């Protein structure tokens, strides 16, 4: 089944303490976003790659691609007011049936095994989201106090959130709502049950300087293997 990959890359560098958007920061000598795109190309070179970028960042991305001789095929579309609208813009390019992966541009360490699990589950049940169990204790805030909660009832959600095209296209016909925190919440609101697969621990979302250090260590270790 044909695969589509929508990579959403609209972040800033504010939490990094950088003027450079975090998806363009250097990771093992090339921008984070290039690592992310490469993972999906390596998984399936026939995938249709759709990159969602803010208009103000498109020229910088083109300059970086020239600088690093990065020429993997990709379609670039404009980001929207929110992540919901950005994904919606990317979905407009999907005109045929297939499996749609929607991924954060700053998650360059998703494993091939996670992608395979997402693809298999989405083909079987219509969608799949990668999740991890919670290792730390959790507490629920109640004013100035807090109460403990059972962490086994909760899961940490990653991307790519993966869907059969007819499921996600129908889901994004809905008007935007503030409680749409990810693509699964959009599909759930449209009436689709959400299915889960195991993610991978190193599939971190790079949002601060520590994450960048950790990602570099993971990538260097991967090269050694």
Per-residue model confidence (pLDDT) at position 13: 46
pTM beyond cutoff 0.85: yes
Please state which CATH number belongs to domain 3-224.
3.90.550.10
* Cα–Cα distance measured from residue 37 to residue 136, given in angstroms and rounded to the nearest whole number: 31
Which portions of the chain are predicted below pLDDT 50?
A: 12-15
pLDDT at 19: 74
Q: Per the structure block, which two tokens stand in for 33?
A: 């976003």
Burial code (b: 16+ CB inside 10 Å, e: under 16) for 5-15 equals bbbbbbbeeee
pLDDT of residue 14: 46
Helix, strand or coil, per DSSP, at residue 212: helix
Instruction: List beta partners, residue 138.
Output: 149
Among residues 125, 93, 99, 107, the alpha carbon closest in space to that of 44 is found at 99
pLDDT at 194: 98
Look at residue 222 in the predicted model and tell me its pLDDT: 80
- Going from N- to C-terminal start, the domains of the chain cover 3-224
Q: Give the H or E element holding residue 165.
A: helix 165-171
């Amino acid at each position: 089944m044909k695969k589509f990959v929508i990579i959403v890359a609209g972040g800033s560098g504010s939490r990094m303490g950088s003027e450079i958007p975090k998806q363009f920061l250097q990771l093992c000598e090339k921008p984070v976003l290039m690592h992310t795109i490469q993972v999906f190309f390596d998984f399936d070179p026939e995938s249709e790659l759709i990159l969602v970028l803010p208009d103000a960042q498109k020229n910088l991305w083109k300059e970086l691609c020239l600088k690093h001789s990065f020429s993997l095929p990709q379609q670039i579309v404009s980001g929207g007011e929110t992540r919901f609208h950005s994904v919606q813009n990317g979905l407009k390019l999907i005109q045929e049936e297939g499996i749609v992966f929607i991924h954060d541009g700053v998650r360059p360490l998703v494993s091939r095994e996670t992608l395979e699990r997402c693809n298999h589950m989405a083909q079987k049940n219509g969608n799949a989201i990668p999740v991890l169990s919670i290792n730390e204790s959790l507490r629920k805030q109640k004013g100035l106090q807090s109460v403990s909660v059972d962490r086994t009832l909760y899961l940490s959600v990653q991307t790519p959130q993966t869907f059969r095209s007819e499921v996600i296209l129908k889901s994004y016909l809905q008007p935007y709502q503030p409680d749409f925190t990810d693509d699964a919440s959009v599909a759930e609101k449209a009436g689709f049950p959400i299915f889960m697969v195991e993610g991978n621990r190193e599939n971190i979302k790079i949002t601060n300087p520590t994450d960048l250090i950790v990602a570099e260590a993971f990538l260097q270790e991967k090269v050694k293997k």
